[in-house]
Amino acid sequence: MIDHVYISVTDIDTALAFYREALRPLGWSEFGTYRASSGPDNVPDLFGIGDAAYVSGTGVGSSIWLRQRNAGETGLYLGIVCDSNDAVDAAYAAAIRAGGIDEGQPAERTYFAPGYYAANVADVDGNRLEFVHKAWNPPR
């Protein structure tokens, strides 16, 4: 299951208005902003839109996080649900063995939330994967 996707956009307000309206019939809504000042330097400001399960916390859901596009930036950022911290570790190790580029070894990412355990890799084209286990998600 896809946990989250970062979409790089040229205008945050325009993009938020578009995604808010386009996804409203599917039960998605805007739910919050993550400010870069509360985390490490490589995490940008993020503007969240999520499905009903994600926003309510009643189940494993999906979200889209809009971020300001940097000059010359392309690529995808995709967060993939893992059922445990061990699964995060295994996926990260497999990705590195397959030629992935380390962008953050498995660790707690408490700047997002307690119980947020993740690892980050990039492929050779700069597309990024985040393997993530959220302790509050019910088992699938």
Report how far residue 6's alpha carbon sits from residue 136's, in angstroms, rounded to the nearest whole number.
Answer: 21
Q: What is the pLDDT of residue 102?
A: 96
The contacts of residue 32 (CB under 8 Å, 6+ apart) are 48
Q: What is the pLDDT of residue 30?
A: 94
Q: What is the pLDDT of residue 22?
A: 79
Of 64, 33, 37, whose CA–CA distance to 49 is shortest? 64
Q: What is the pLDDT of residue 104?
A: 95
Q: What is the pLDDT of residue 47?
A: 95
Whether 57 and 50 have beta carbons less than 8 Å apart is answered as no
Which structural domains are found in the chain, ordered by start?
A: 1-72 (3.30.1900), 74-140 (3.10.180.10)
Q: Is the pTM of this model over 0.85?
A: no
Helix (H, G, I), strand (E, B) or coil at 75: coil
Higher pLDDT, 73 or 9: 9
Whether 105 and 119 have beta carbons less than 8 Å apart is answered as yes
What average pLDDT does range 122-135 have in this prediction? 87
Question: 13: how many CB neighbours lie within 10 A of its CB?
Answer: 10
How many Å separate Cα 123 from the centre of its chain?
Answer: 16
Q: What is the pLDDT of residue 76?
A: 82
29-33 long-range Cβ contacts below 8 angstroms, 24+ apart? 29/55, 31/55, 31/63
Q: What is the pLDDT of residue 58?
A: 87
What average pLDDT does range 36-56 have in this prediction? 89
